Amino acid sequence: MELFHKAQVVRFRSHHDKYLLADEDEEAVSQDRNGSVKNARWTVEFIDNANVLRFKSCYGKYLTASNMPFLLGMTGKKVLQTLPKRLDSSLEWEPIREGFQVRLRTRYGQYLRANGGLPPWRNSITHDIPHRTATQDWVLWEVDMVEIRMQSPPPPLVLQPVKRTDSFSSEAGSKIELMSPDLGEELSNELSGSPMKAEGRIIYYNVANEKGDVEDETKGLSFTFKGSGVEELKEKLMEETALSDILVCSRNPLNGELYPIRLHLPPNKTNMHVVVVPSSWKARKCPTAGVAGVEGPERRSQGRKVCEKQNKSELEEKLKEAENVIKELRETATLKAQEHSSELWKHKSAFIEVVTNQWQLEAGMGYALRKIEATKELGVVLE
């Protein structure tokens, strides 16, 4: 629950590295690798005196655990986006933290699950209880904070950013010194009417090495940035740091990892904390640049081999997941076939019993008729 205390808008990333999306039909829910679209944004709503949350899509509808089965005969139920007249428990999700990830549990003990494998399971979202070890991680979600929740606005503050140590003086004359102000305080100060808001936003930055490590984040620098695009910010940071070929990154407040800023800057001239890293930092995800200690074409060749090996292992893992799903489907189909066959045998036995009883009844009635006729004939003979 503490992961959402400061969250106003979040994104959910599944075990398959795909984002939870509200489909454009304003009814279904799915997952996709593109997390920059508005469909991936979910507004967090708190419920008083309860340890559960509601999540509203960009269409104003709530993430809902329905009672409709996803596939006939399967245990998973559909997850939809709905807007009922009465907000009931089907809209409520209890976040259960596991490290930097969460499980979202319904009031009935099932979990929000991102399915993988072959169609129709691929990219689908259900709520279920995973029974197999291979699918245990399918109910784990990483939470990316998109917008921070604002508390009651503080009094107007005067911002004087000279160094990383910033001083803020309120109208009452009190002085607050923050060695490394966190993002939530900066956003609050930005909305409180700071005089610097009209001139631009304050960019606090640190320079990291090729591994993405910063020696001392409390010794960062800052400057006023009047632009509005990522490329403008990148050029300004190249001037400030006298570096070339850099990446501008932000640090995720939940897990502390660096993510490149590629799309756009936060709105409303919000102050920012960024980390400048060399462009070679991205090579650690897929070492196509080569292997350390090897030069020339051989270096590039070995780098490609390492990358191909990683891709091969990922494909093998996906293939294994697909085989597990197929095996589960076969087991379920076999069980259903056995149950159907058992029901057929029951009906067949009942039918045979009915036919046998009918034959016995007809035989008994024939015997009774013959006996009556014999009695009549005997009476005639006696007369």
Note whether 2-147 and 157-284 share their fold: no
Handedness of CA 195, 198, 201, 202 (dihedral sign): negative
Q: How far, in Å, CA of 10 to CA of 42, rounded?
A: 5
What average pLDDT score do residues 49-56 get? 90
Left (φ > 0), alpha (ψ -120 to 50) or beta: where does 39 sit? alpha
Fold of 157-284: Ubiquitin-like (UB roll) (3.10.20)
pLDDT at 360 over 70: yes
Confidence (pTM): 0.42
Cβ neighbours for 187, distance < 8 A, ≥ 6 positions apart: 148, 150, 270, 271
Pick the closest to residue 56 from 34, 30, 31, 26 (CA basis): 26
CA–CA separation, 77 and 12 (whole Å)? 19
The stretch 361-366 carries a mean pLDDT of 89
Average pLDDT over residues 142-154: 73
**Spacing of C-alpha 1 from chain mean position:** 16
Does the pLDDT value for residue 172 go beyond 70? no
Sketch the domain layout of the chain as residue ranges. 2-147, 157-284
The CATH number for 2-147, chosen from 3.40.50.1240, 2.80.10.50, 3.40.1800.10, 3.40.50.970, is 2.80.10.50
Confidence of residue 154 (pLDDT cuts 50, 70, 90): very low
Considering only 195-209, 265-279, 328-342, 351-365, which range has the smallest mean pLDDT? Answer: 195-209
- In the predicted model, what is the mean pLDDT of residues 182-188? 45
pLDDT-based confidence at 304, cuts 50/70/90? low
Q: Which of 33-37, 57-61, 218-222, 280-284 has the lowest mean pLDDT?
A: 280-284
